Structure 1
C-alpha cells in the first residue's frame, strides 16, 4: 500500500512539473474583470463578485454557517461533558501557540479591513480569527474561555452581525448603495468593506462557539 502512495506522489509531482500552469486570459475575460472592478468600485474583483454580483448566494452561505453552528450544538447537547480536557502544559508550546494566535489575529484584522483592496475578505479573516481563538483555547482553561465568552455576550454579537449583514445585503440588492469613494483607498467600495467586516465577525465568533463545544463535550480540539 505504501508503494501505491509513493507512485501516486511521484505521478502528481511529474504532472505538476511537466504541465504548464500559465493561463493566458483572452480579451473577453479581461473585459469581464474590468467590468466587475468598475461596477464594484474595488480593485479586488473577487470581493466584488462575492459581495455584489453574487451577494444573493453569499447571504445563504452566511446562513448555512449559522445553521452548522446550531447543528453542532444540537448534536452534542445529549452528550456528557468530557471529564478531562487535553491542553498544552509545557511553557514552550504555550508561548508558541499564543504567539501564533497573536499573528493570526493581526492577519485576520488585516484581511477584514483591506479585503476589498487585496486578496482576503471576510471569510478568510474569520478563519484567521477562529484560528487565533483555537490556539488560545488549547493553552487556557475551559472556565476562563467560557467566562470571557459569556461576559462579552459573544453569542448575541454573533447573531447581531448576521442580522446586520442580511439587512445591509437586502438594501444593496434593492439598489441602495453607499458612495464608492476614491478607488483604491481604504474607505472605498461603498458597502463592501462593511460586509467584509461583518462576515469576519460572524465566522470568528461562530468558530469560538464551536471550539468551546468541542472542548466541553470531547475534551480535545
Structure 2
C-alpha cells in the first residue's frame, strides 16, 4: 500500500511542476467590486465575513464563547496557583503599559473603522485582549479581578453575543439598515455594529481567559 502513496505523491508533484494552474477569468465588474457594492463597505473582507458568510461568523463567535466556558469549567476543580509570574522591574512595566495603551487605541480604531480599512471585529478584539494581557502581567491578580467584576465584564460579554446573534438573524432574514454613502464612517448598514459587538466579545472573552489562567496556572 505504501507504494500507492509514493506513486500518488510523485504524480501530484509532477502535476504541480508540469500542468499550469487554472486561472479564474473574471468579467467586469470583478468579484471584489460586487462584494463592495452589495455590502456597502470598502473593506470587502468585512463584507464577506459579516454578510456573505454570516452563518460562519455566527458559529465562530459561538465557538469562541464555548472555548472560554470550557477553560473555566475544566480548571474549576484544580487548586489555584500559589505563584503568579509577573514583571517586577520598572522598565518592563513601563514598556508593557505603553504597549497596552497602543494596543487599546488600535483596538478602538479597528472596531470603529474596520468596515472602511483593513481590520474588523476579530482583529480589534485580539488587540483589546493583548492590551488587557499586558496590563495583567504588570498588575496584581486581585486588582484585575476587582475591575472585571466591578464593570460586570462577564455580563457585557454575554449581552454582546446575544445582540450579535439577534442582529445576524435579522440580517439573514433580509432586513437591512440603509447602506449610506460608501466610505463614510456611518455606512455599511449593520456591519459596523457587528464589528463592534465582535470586538467587545473577543476582548472581554480574552480578559476572562487571562484571569482564569493566571488563577489556576500562574502563567499567561
TM-score normalised per structure 1: 0.87
Cα shift readout 1:146-182 (whole Å, capped 9, x = no counterpart): 0000000000000000000000000000111111111
**Superposed displacement of residue 199, structure 1:** 0.1
In the alignment, the residues of structure 2 paired with residue 213 and residue 112 of structure 1 have an alpha-carbon distance, to the nearest angstrom, of: 25
Which residue is equivalent to 1:95? 94
Unaligned runs of 5+ in 1: 1-23
Per the alignment, residue 78 of structure 2 pairs with 79
| CA distance 1:27–1:154, change in 2 (3 Å) | same
The runs of 4+ residues in structure 1 deviating greater than 4 Å are none
2:189 is matched with 190
- Asked if 1:45 is matched to 2:44, the reply is yes
Tell me the SS of whatever aligns to 1:104.
helix
Specify whether residues 155 and 32 from structure 1 end up closer, same or farther in structure 2 by C-alpha distance, changes over 3 A only. same
Shift of 1:32: 1.2
Alignment of 1:27-176 (within 5 A): 27-28=26-27, 31-176=30-175
> How big is the shift at 1:29?
8.6
Q: 1:108 to 1:29 in 2, by over 3 A?
A: farther
Q: Distance in 1 between matches of 2:24 and 2:88?
A: 52
| Corresponding pairs, count | 198
Q: Which consecutive unaligned segments of at least 5 residues does structure 2 have?
A: 1-22
Deviations 1:172-219 (A, max 9, x none): 001111111111010010100000000000000000000000000001
Question: 2:203 matched to which residue of 1?
Answer: 204
Moved more, 183-192 or 24-33: 24-33
SS of aligned partner of 2:30: helix
- Distance in 2, Cα, partners of 1:25 & 1:218: 50
Larger radius of gyration: 2
User: What does residue 213 of structure 1 align with?
Assistant: 212
Cα distance, 1:83 vs. partner? Answer: 0.6
- Are 2:176 and 1:177 equivalent residues in the alignment? yes
